[in-house]
Structure 1
Amino acid sequence: MDSITVFAPATVANVACGFDIFGFAVDNPGDQITLTASPEPGVRIIDIIGDEGRLPREANRNTASIAIQTYLQHINRTDVGVDVVLRKKMPLGSGLGSSAASAVAGVFAINELLNRPLTVRQLIPFAMEGERIACGSAHADNVGPSLLGGFCVIRSYQPLDVIRVNTPASLYCTLVHPDIEVNTKDARFILKNEVSLKNTITQMGNVAGLIAGLMTPDYDLISRSLVDVIIEPVRSILIPEFNEVKQAALENGALGCSISGSGPSMFALCRDPQTAERVGAAMQQAFLSVGISSESYVSEINQQGPKVLTTAEVAS
């Protein structure tokens, strides 16, 4: 192949009680990248579409190109040349894993272009380097599920241990992105360095309960476990009308509702697509009551991760 176009999905990280250890992929939104082989060695960003000029075009500062460069260095293929066109099909600074989707799309695409010298799981560390450029931390709770699909647990970083957990086939996610922005670094800065033993025990119970509920499956247990007593109480102050939006989701049938990643997007898990649509409309209305417009997405848990797009899919 001389050229390839790849889609990588957005993700919900933390998933209420699982700060920095839980994440899952969704069908929509996501990012799209096109790599074209070049006789000139190196990685060059030709264009970025949909970012309103906000993302760096320099290859050593962009999440997608950094992931590609790190990958090529690892497999000793610095002789390879690729031109990159990135299409941002999701909002920036949204808490939906925007930087992760770009990094995942880039490293998955170059691995495909070179006939898969590495497995998909082996690509995670290179996508993490893209995250390091974006927010200063090489975390995997977004890139893991974006690459592997499904619901992932980041059990350990040293050594890296990412576990994929089965989820109910009928589980749906509602995502609502209000028209405000929360900086990831700011959202981390306000967190407390120490947590009480009481809250730690409560959170550990919810973490275990959520995994058990997903694998059983037990929707009531999922609902009881989607509770965050450590991070949400602090970060929710950055999102106007957070409590009202969350209450609207629960009153309309959501199993649970919390912050997606560092925010400002909020997610809700639901038993079926009809409930997920109703919950999304209610959450949007709650934001709109104080003059905040928003975007809403509803999808199943994306089980595939990134995918190579056909010519017809690219055109659409």
Structure 2
Amino acid sequence: MNQLKIFAPATIANVSCGFDVLGLCLDTVGDEMIIRKTSEKGITISRLVGQDLPLETEKNVAGIAGLAMLEKLNLNHGFEIEIYKNIKAGSGIGSSAASSAGTVWAMNELLGKPFSAKELVPFAMEGEKLASGTAHADNVAPALLGGFTLVRSYEPLDIIKIPTPDELYATVIHPQIEVKTSDSRSVLKQKITLKESIIQIGNLGGLISGLYTSDYDLISRSLHDEIVEPLRAILIPGFDEVKANAIQAGALGAGISGSGPSIFALSKGEEMAQNVAKSMSETYKKLHIDYDIHVSKINTNGCRVVEC
């Protein structure tokens, strides 16, 4: 193969109690990318549709991720990338991660899979470093591995794929407002209390256990963020109302997707997830805030080929 068209999925990071370590992969929203081999060495971004983002290789997360991968390989050719952005930058559902992960995943496929999915994560993290200043993995890991992923450690990098219950669905609403990453980071506390830490660890352990055992009640009880959400919620208009109404409509739980402004909810079954979507939509209609909304089964495979 010399060319692939792929789907690079959106992702939800943090998942309430898993700040910077837990993420999940969506299936109904994502970018499309075309990656092809070229006779010239290096990475070229020839087309970018849907967002006003740079085409220069060193200024684009896809280019940086691809270059990081090429540094590990001794190739006599390069790659050309076309990006069709369906994930809005700054939406909180992994726009930069999709481009970064999609690039290295497709390159790996075209090269005959010299790297495992986990081995691709550090390359994609370089794209995230360009986007946010931090080489974090909680979005790129689920985009590459699919399902839920836990970043147990960054030094050394240790990523664990977590089983996904069959009936688990996500609803994500993206209010058309901007929340700067710098602002969402600036409100965080540098120190937390022992009590807060104990509550957060208990919920993270409960959520992981619930995912392994398909215990939806345990998942519901564990979808609580003691540390970050109370601070970031003030940056998202109507957050408390959207969350409360989603849970009243039947969601297992709800929280901030990544650093916001998107809000996610998890539900058992597609019908319930659609009911939750209706509730979340009605809340923002009352507030006269435009929004995008997505309902998705959890994508357990990550990036995928659309056509060869």
- TM-score of Structure 1 vs Structure 2, range by shorter chain: over 0.9
- What is the CA-CA distance between 1:76 and the residue it aligns to? 2.5
From 194, 199, 204, give the equivalent of 1:197: 194
Aligned residue in 2 for 1:36: 36
User: Is the partner of 1:36 in helix, strand or coil?
Assistant: strand
Deviations 1:106-158 (A, max 9, x none): 00111111222112221000000000000000000000000000111100011
Aligned-residue CA RMSD in angstroms?
A: 1.0
Whether the aligned pair in 2 keeps the contact of 1:99 and 1:130 (CA below 8 Å) is yes
Aligned residue in 1 for 2:207: 210
Deviations 1:184-228 (A, max 9, x none): 232112211000111111111111111111111211111111011
- What is the CA-CA distance between 1:242 and the residue it aligns to? 0.5
- What is the CA-CA distance between 1:37 and the residue it aligns to? 2.0
261-270 or 31-40, which deviates more: 31-40
Whether the aligned pair in 2 keeps the contact of 1:284 and 1:293 (CA below 8 Å) is no
Instruction: State the alpha-carbon separation in 1 of the partners of residues 35 and 163 from structure 2.
Output: 32
Runs of 4+ deviating beyond 4 Å: none
Q: How does 1:127-206 map to 2 (within 5 A)?
A: 127-206=124-203
Aligned residue in 1 for 2:100: 103
Aligned residue in 1 for 2:231: 234
Are residue 88 (structure 1) and residue 85 (structure 2) matched? yes
Deviations 1:52-96 (A, max 9, x none): x2x11110111111111110111232x322221111011110110
Unaligned runs of 5+ residues in structure 2 are: none
Q: Match of 1:148, as an amino acid?
A: L
Instruction: State the alpha-carbon separation in 1 of the partners of residues 66 and 182 from structure 2.
Output: 24
Q: Match of 1:80, as an amino acid?
A: H
Instruction: State the alpha-carbon separation in 1 of the partners of residues 148 and 254 from structure 2.
Output: 16
Unaligned runs of 5+ residues in structure 1 are: 312-316
Deviations 1:285-313 (A, max 9, x none): 111211101111111110011111126xx
Q: How does 1:235-254 map to 2 (within 5 A)?
A: 235-254=232-251
Deviations 1:264-303 (A, max 9, x none): 0010010110110010111111112111011111111100
160-169 or 180-189, which deviates more: 180-189
Q: How many residues align?
A: 308
Instruction: State the alpha-carbon separation in 2 of the partners of residues 38 and 310 from structure 1.
Output: 18
Aligned residue in 2 for 1:314: none
From 294, 301, 305, give the equivalent of 1:304: 301
Q: TM-score, normalised by structure 2?
A: 0.98
Q: How does 1:235-314 map to 2 (within 5 A)?
A: 235-310=232-307
Q: Percent identity?
A: 49
Whether the aligned pair in 2 keeps the contact of 1:150 and 1:165 (CA below 8 Å) is yes
175-184 or 124-133, which deviates more: 175-184
From 59, 63, 68, give the equivalent of 2:61: 63
